Chains A and B, each alone.
Chain A
Amino acid sequence: MTTLSDPPKGGFRVSILINDTRYRSYTFQFIALIALIAAFAYLGSNLLANLRAAGLNISYKFLSEPAGYDINQRLIEYTSQSTHFRAAIVGILNTLLVAVVACFFATVIGIFVGVLRLSNNWLVNKLMGVYVEIFRNVPVLIWILIIMAVFVAVLPQPREFRGDDATASMFLDLFAFTGRGFYFPRPYFAAEWATGAIGWLTIIALLIASFFGARALAKSAAATQEATGDRPTTWYFTLAIWFVPLIAACVIMGLTWELPELKGFNFRGGIYARNSFIALTFALSIYTAAFIAENVRAGILAISTGQTEAAASLGLRPGRIMNLVILPQALRVIIPPLISQYLNITKNSSLAIAVGYMDVTGTLGGITLNQTGRAIETVLLLMAFYLIISLSISAVMNVYNNSVKLKER
C-alpha cells in the first residue's frame, strides 16, 4: 500500500528535470552556465581570430615603454621619457584630485542650496528651485563645455595684467584669475631640514595628534558632566590644542608663501591650476550640488515636525535640537545618496577628456591607447580602475549604513 502523499517512485525520466521542482533549479542553472561558457568561448574565439588576423596579441609590455607625450598638469614627477604606466598613475592622481575637490565643493554648495530651498523667503526658495531644475535637467557635458568657454572668454589673459594701463589686476596681489587658469600663493617651509615632504608630514602628524588630544578633552568633559552635571567650559582649550602646536611648528619651520608673479607673458611661481581643471571641477561641483541639494532637502523633510516639537518640549535650545535630534536622523537619510553622488562625480570626471584635462581617461584611455593601439588592454585597465574606486566607495557606504541603521530586534 502506498499513500497518496508519497512521492511517485520510479526511475529517472528526462521530464522530471524540468517538471520536478526539486531538480528544476539545477537544470536551469546548468543551462545558464553552459550558455554563459558557450558565449564566452564564442567571444573568445572571435577575439583570438581577430587578433591573429590583425597580427596583434594581448600584452601589457607597453606599460613599461616610454610614453613620449607630455602631460601639462601633474602631481608627481613626469617627463615625456617616463613610462606609460607612470602616465597612467599621473592620470589617476589627476582624476582623484578633481573628484575630491569637486566632492568638497558640491557638498558645500549642495547643503547651502538644500537648506535655502526650505527657507520661508519666497524669492530665495524659488531662485534655488530654478537653479536645481536647470542644472539637473541639462547634461553635465554641456555644463562643462559652457563653463570652459566662459572661463576662456570672460577672464582676462595674462598679458592684460601687464604694463601701467593694465586692464586686469591681481586680487589682493595674491591671486590671479586668468583665462589660462588660476594662480594661488604656494606655502613652503624655509627651514632647511623641513623643505619638501618632511615639513608637510610634520604638519599632518601634528594635526592627527591634535585631533586625538581634542577628542580626549571632549571625553573628559563628558565624564565630568556625567559625574557632576556641569559641563566644564573647554572651547578655549580645544582651540589651543588645535592651533598652538600648528602655529608653533609653522614659525619654527619658517612658513613662507611664494606669490605668483607676472614674468614675461605669463605668471610664474605659486600654485597654478589650469583652466581645464578649474572649469571641470566647477562644472561638476555645481551640477552635482543640484542633486545633493535635493537629497539634503528630502532628508530634512523626512524628519517629522513631531521630533522638533518633542525636543523643544524637553527644553532643548534650537541649536541643540538641530545637533542632537534632527541632524543625526536626517544624516541617516542624506548620507547614502550623498555617497552615491560622490561616486557619480568620480565617474563623471572622465568627461575631462572634453576639455583636455589629463585625467586617467585622457592619458591611459586617450593618448596611450592611440599611440600603442592596445585598445583592449587599456580599456580593461581603465575599467578596472573605476571599478575598484566604485566598489571601495560602496564598501564604505555599506559599513556606514550598517553602523547607523535602526537597531531593530
Chain B
Amino acid sequence: MTDTNTTPVAFVRDAMLAQKTPPVTNAGIVGWINKNLFPNPFASIGNAFSCLLTLVSLLIIYKIVAGALPWFANGVWDTPSLAACREVLQGVTGGCFSVLTERWNQLLFGFKYPSEEYWRPTLAFIGLFFAAAPVLFSKLPRKMLWFTAVYPFLAFWLIWGGTILVPVMVAVGFIVGYFVFAHFEKQSFAMGLIGSVVAAVVVWSFAGYITDPLSGVLALEPVPSRDMGGFMLNFILGVVCVSLSIPIGILLALGRQSDMPIIKGICVVFIEFIRGVPLITLLFVANVVLAYFLPPGTTFDLILRVIIMITMFSAAYIAEVIRGGLAALPNGQYEAGGSLGLDYAQNMRLIILPQALKISIPGIVNVAVGLFKDTTLVSVISMFDLVGMIRGPILASTEWNGVYWELFGSAVVLFFIVCYGISQYSQWLERQLATGHR
C-alpha cells in the first residue's frame, strides 16, 4: 500500500518574493526627518528633548531669516548718504548698502591711498595667490617657486612704489649672500652663515650709492606707508608678519629645545614673556615706547614698528607650535641622524625639521588665522585698517554716521571668507599629510 502521494506536501516557495518597500516612516525624506529632526517623542525623554531642540532651532532660523530677508531685499545700493537712503526707504526695513558701494575702495585701501594707483595693490593681491599656490599645493609645478621668491620684492615695489632698483638691490644682496653661503657651507655651516650675512650687508650698504642717483628708473609713484589702510593693511600686516615669524619661530623653538642653558634661557624668557602679555600692550610699545630704544634722530614708520612687534608676537606662538612638532618626533630620529655622522645643522635641516614642520603645519595655520584676526587691533592705536576705517573716517563722516550693520556686516564677511578659507585649507592639508601611521 503506497499512499504516500496522498499525504499533503507542505508548501515550499520556489521563487523569491519581490522586496517590500520599507515603512514610509523609515525611508526617504520622511524617514530622514523622523530620524534626524523629529524622533518619536513618546519613545524616550531624549527624543522628546530632540524634538524640542528642533522646534527651537527652527524658531531661531525663522527669526534670523525673517529679520535679514527684508533687510537684504529692500536694500538700497545707490544713495550718496544715509539721509538720502532713509528717504528712499520711507520707513521700510532695509539695508543702506550704498555705504558699501560708495566707500568700498576706502574699506579696501584706506582713505589716503591715491585712487589712480589702486591697480597696484590689486595686482599685488592677485600675485599673492600665484606666489602662495606652489607653497600651499605641492602638486603644482615646482618652477612656480621662482615666482614665489621674486614676489616679496615685486609686491613691495607695487605697493610702496618708488624705483624698482631698491627691491632689486635688496634681492641682489640676498643672492650674493646665498652664493657666499653655498661656497663656504662645505667647510662649516657657521662660517657660511656669517659670511653670507657679511656679504649681504656689504651689498646693501653699497646699494644706496646706486639707487639714490637712479631714483627715476622704472619708478612708480611712491606711497608712504602711513597712507596704507583698509583691508589691504590687514593683509599686509598678516602676510608679512606670518612669513617673517616662521623662520624666527623655528630658531626660537630650536633654541628652547637646545641643551645649552643660556640660549635655552633666553628663548624661554622671550617666548613666555610675549605669550603672557596681550597683543595690545605690544602695540602700545610699538606706538609710544619703541621710539625711545632706537638711536636718537632716527624715525621709524609706525607701520614698520607695528610689523616688528607683531612679528615678535607671532614668532613666540609659532615657536611653541614647532616645539610641539619637535617634541612629537621619536628620539630615534635624532639619534639616527647623529649615527650617520651628520652634525647638528645637517641633522636639523635634513632629518628633524622636515618632519617636525610637517606635523606643525596645522598649528602654524591656526596661529596664522589668529594673527590675521588680531591685525584688527591696530585700529586701537589709530591706524586705519578695515575696522579703523569703519570706526574712524566712515562712521564719523556726516553722510554715514549711524550705519552699523552694513559696515560691520561687510567686515564680518570679508574676515570670514579669508579665515574660513585658510582653516578649510588646513583641514584639507591635514588629510593629505595623514600617512596612516601615527
- Chain A residues packing against B (C-beta within 8 Å): 18, 25, 28-29, 32-33, 36, 43, 46-47, 49-51, 53, 116, 119-124, 127, 133-134, 136-142, 145-146, 149-150, 153, 347-348, 350-351, 353-354, 361, 365, 369, 375-376, 379, 382-383, 386-387, 390-391
Q: Which of A124, A137, A350 contacts B54 (CB 8 A)?
A: A124
**A36 surroundings in chain B (CB, below 8 A):** 266
Binary contact readout B371-399 vs A (1 if CB under 8 angstroms, 0 otherwise): 00110110110000001000100000000
Contacting pair B408 A146 (CB below 8 A) = yes
Establish whether residues B420 and A137, one from each chain, have CB atoms under 8 Å apart when the complex forms.
yes
How far in angstroms is the closest Cβ of chain B from A169? 21
Docked pose: A116 CA to B56 CA in angstroms: 13
Shortest C-beta distance, B106 to chain A (Å), equals: 17
B58→A142 contact, CB < 8 A: no
- Inside 8 A of A43's CB, which chain B residues have their CB? 293
Given A123-B36, A141-B377, A46 and B293 touching (CB < 8 A)? yes
Q: Are B291 and A145 in contact (CB under 8 A)?
A: no
What are 14 pairs between A and B in contact, CB < 8 Å? A32-B263, A49-B295, A50-B292, A119-B53, A123-B57, A124-B50, A127-B60, A137-B415, A138-B419, A141-B377, A145-B391, A347-B278, A375-B289, A386-B278
Complex CA distance for A383 and B260, rounded to whole angstroms = 28
Contact (Cβ within 8 A) B50 A121: yes
B207 at the interface (CB under 8 A from A): no
Q: Is A25 touching B260 in the complex (CB atoms < 8 A)? A: yes
A348 to B370, CA, bound (A): 12
**B376 and A141: CB pair below 8 A?**
yes
A142-B266 in contact (CB<8A): no
For residue B409, which residue of chain A has the nearest CB?
A146
The smallest C-beta distance from B314 to any residue of chain A, in angstroms, reads: 14
Closest to B262 in A: A29
Other 6 A-B pairs with CB < 8 A, given A136-B419, A379-B288, A390-B275: A47-B292, A123-B58, A139-B376, A141-B387, A365-B281, A387-B276
* A369 CA / B292 CA spacing, docked (Å): 15
Contact B285 A379 (CB under 8 A): yes
Is B416 interfacial (CB 8 A cutoff)? Answer: yes
What count of chain B residues pass the 8 Å CB interface test?
A: 55
CA distance A53 to B296 in the complex (A): 8
Q: Are B53 and A29 touching (Cβ within 8 A)? A: no
For B53, the closest partner residue in chain A by CB is A124
Using a CB-CB cutoff of 8 Å, which residues 335-391 of chain B contact chain A? 369, 373-374, 376-377, 379-380, 387, 391
> Does B266 contact A123, Cβ atoms closer than 8 Å?
no
Q: How far is the CA of A33 from the CA of B261 in the complex (A)?
A: 11
B277 in contact (CB, < 8 A)? yes
List the A side residues contacting B369 at CB < 8 Å.
137
Contacts of A29 in B (CB 8 A): 260-263
Distance, CA A365 to CA B369, complexed state (A): 27
Cα of A119 to Cα of B188 in the assembled complex, Å:
59
Nearest-CB residue, chain A, relative to B188? A18
> Does B284 have its Cβ within 8 Å of any Cβ on chain A?
yes
Which residue of the partner chain A has the closest CB to B411? Answer: A142
What's the Cα separation between A351 and B374 when bound, in Å? 11
